[in-house]
Structure 1
Amino acid sequence: MAAAAPERVAVVTGGTRGIGRGIADCLARDGYSLVLGYNSDAATAEAAAAELRAAHGVQVHTVGGDLTLPTTADALFEAVTSHFGGRCTALVHNAGLYIGVTSVLDAQPAPMGSADDDWEAHWAYYHATYVMAFKRLLERAQRCEGLRHVVATSAQGCNASWGPSLAYEAPGQAEAGLEYLVRFHALRLAAQGVNVNAIVSGFIKTLAWDKLSAPEEVKERLVAAMPAQRWGQPHEIGELAAFLCSDRAAFLTGAGIPVDGGLHLRN
């Protein structure tokens, strides 16, 4: 006789390293079994899953693939069906990237702002990663049993609390679109008992920052200039995600909450 599905199951995209790993840690600590998406590093993904299983005693499964492809969303929820009987109580869309730093295209456009900049290619990729992937994932999550919590992660420079960044045109517009969808679906799903919120992260210390070409002293000056004067840590995003994916946050919906050490308060 098949075992009953766990009471709490979450799908977390980009959930095996960086901010996503911080989110997965906090959810697993709170009793969530997990389906974690990752792009291409299977070894890192499985190591993260094994550590989460050992630390928290929950089921953890990983699914690889490019989230710009509909087949990846299908595969994530096929894992929900096969391992958890179609039960998914929380969806966290955390997959984030910056072209040329944390991700590349098959036909890599020139850097943004250069003479040979292919803006349409950049925009299409960011739009597919943030906006279209969120739409697909949420549509599939709604077919599951028990959906109650939806969280999307965004970043500084993408919403009304920030001025526009000249170096963040295409990703900023895509993440702003994601935040609009959060508010839209919060309105649409509230009567069904589903809360939908966004986390707007600041300077969070992950390996992605090591890939930036800027000198370390430049990065540290950016951090020192913000109110908290320190890097954020992935678990600090994870703590808010765990709260938003709990009954304690049932009456909180449609919010974009900054976790940035006061970065959004700068002039």
Structure 2
Amino acid sequence: MTSTHQQTAFTNTNFRLDGKVAIVTGGASGLGFYYTKALLLSGAKVLVVSRKAEAWPTVKEFAQAVDGQVAFLKQDLTADLAPTTIVQTALANFGQIDILVNNAGLQRRHSWIDFPETDWDAIIQINLTAVYRLSQSVAKVMAPQHAGKIINIGSMQSFRAGKFISPYTASKHAIVGLTKAYADALAPDNIQVNALAPGYIDTPMTASLQADPKRNQEILAHIPAQHWGDPTELMGVIVFLASSAANYITGAVIPVDGGYLLR
């Protein structure tokens, strides 16, 4: 079989996303806001999808400051028509879809013996089923254009155990499997599917861990880089995976963890 791939010269513009359109779920707050900022800074237009609108003004202000274009959709990702609504909104606002960042997620903590089945269902629905359904819908748009990037967000729990967060761990292990399966299935359509796995990042969600002297020291002792990650340290990897510089990378799971998994 003869490949029809055409080689092109590499320049620094390979890292730019000018003219591209991205969807970021949960892209208005937490780490998702940093992914949105990174894409906007690199020239992409972004549809931010979230359940709440409180953080939208901050995102809009940032987009205006960098001359970026952003649109917003308030949407429950587990709703039956969510994938269709998201795709139609992106196309209505920007006319195309080139990048999908499946960032939105849910975590709840309980001991194994007390873990409510309702929490299991809620976590699997948002962390896995919604990712699968939206990826499938977006891929149907990307395949005819013979180009696209799907970036799933994993976790350290994509590799390790989490005895108080078993459904979260199950969902993040499954994200790795889904990433690899879709990477294989969509490769003939020139769609690359990869995952980013953040390590221990300094965010409001991890403030309680950092405030616990014993747990904080345990975590730091596990990180060769000797510090919690800053959210900005995830931005370059998102841009790279979304760009043409990563065209020959698919099915990869990239930890951004300061070496946490080494120990």
TM bracket, shorter-chain basis: 0.7 to 0.9
Matched, 1:157 2:180: no
**TM-score (norm: length of structure 2):** 0.85
TM-superposed CA distance for 1:215, in Å, is 4.1
**Alpha-carbon distance in structure 2 between the residues aligned to 1:73 and 1:204:** 29
Count how many residue pairs are aligned between Structure 1 and Structure 2.
242
> Are the equivalent residues in 2 in contact too, given 1:154–1:179 (CA < 8 A)?
yes
Gaps in structure 2 of 5+ consecutive residues: 1-17
* 2:157 counterpart SS class: coil
Task: Output the amino acid matched with 1:69.
Answer: A
Higher percent of residues as helix: 2
Matched, 1:7 2:4: no
Gaps in structure 1 of 5+ consecutive residues: 1-5, 101-110
Q: CA-to-partner distance for each residue in 1:31-59, whole Å, 9 max, x for gaps?
A: 1000011222x1212321231x2232121
* 1:144 counterpart SS class: helix
Q: 1:143 to 1:49 in 2, by over 3 A?
A: farther
> Are the equivalent residues in 2 in contact too, given 1:22–1:236 (CA < 8 A)?
no
Task: Output the amino acid matched with 1:90.
Answer: I
**TM-score (norm: length of structure 1):** 0.84
Give the RMSD, CA atoms, in angstroms: 1.9
1:112 alignment partner in structure 2:
111
**Alpha-carbon distance in structure 2 between the residues aligned to 1:46 and 1:198:** 28
Residues 189-204 of structure 1 aligned to structure 2 (within 5 Å): 189-204=186-201
1:63 alignment partner in structure 2:
73
> Are the equivalent residues in 2 in contact too, given 1:28–1:58 (CA < 8 A)?
yes
Q: Which moved more, 1:174-183 or 1:143-152?
A: 143-152
**Alpha-carbon distance in structure 2 between the residues aligned to 1:205 and 1:55:** 25
Q: Equivalent pairs: percent with the same residue?
A: 26
**Alpha-carbon distance in structure 2 between the residues aligned to 1:189 and 1:206:** 34
Q: 1:218 to 1:76 in 2, by over 3 A?
A: farther
Q: Which moved more, 1:239-248 or 1:127-136?
A: 127-136
> Are the equivalent residues in 1 in contact too, given 2:107–2:165 (CA < 8 A)?
no
Matched, 1:216 2:216: no
Residues 1-267 of structure 1 aligned to structure 2 (within 5 Å): 7-40=19-52, 42-51=53-62, 53-85=63-95, 87-99=96-108, 111-114=110-113, 116-118=114-116, 120-144=117-141, 146=145, 147-159=147-159, 162=160, 164-210=161-207, 212=208, 215-225=211-221, 226-266=223-263
Runs of 4+ in 1 over 6 A off after TM superposition: none
Q: CA-to-partner distance for each residue in 1:4-29, whole Å, 9 max, x for gaps?
A: xx720000011112211111111111
**Alpha-carbon distance in structure 2 between the residues aligned to 1:69 and 1:223:** 37
Q: 1:249 to 1:213 in 2, by over 3 A?
A: closer
> Are the equivalent residues in 2 in contact too, given 1:10–1:88 (CA < 8 A)?
yes
Q: 1:70 to 1:57 in 2, by over 3 A?
A: farther
Q: Which moved more, 1:250-259 or 1:57-66?
A: 57-66
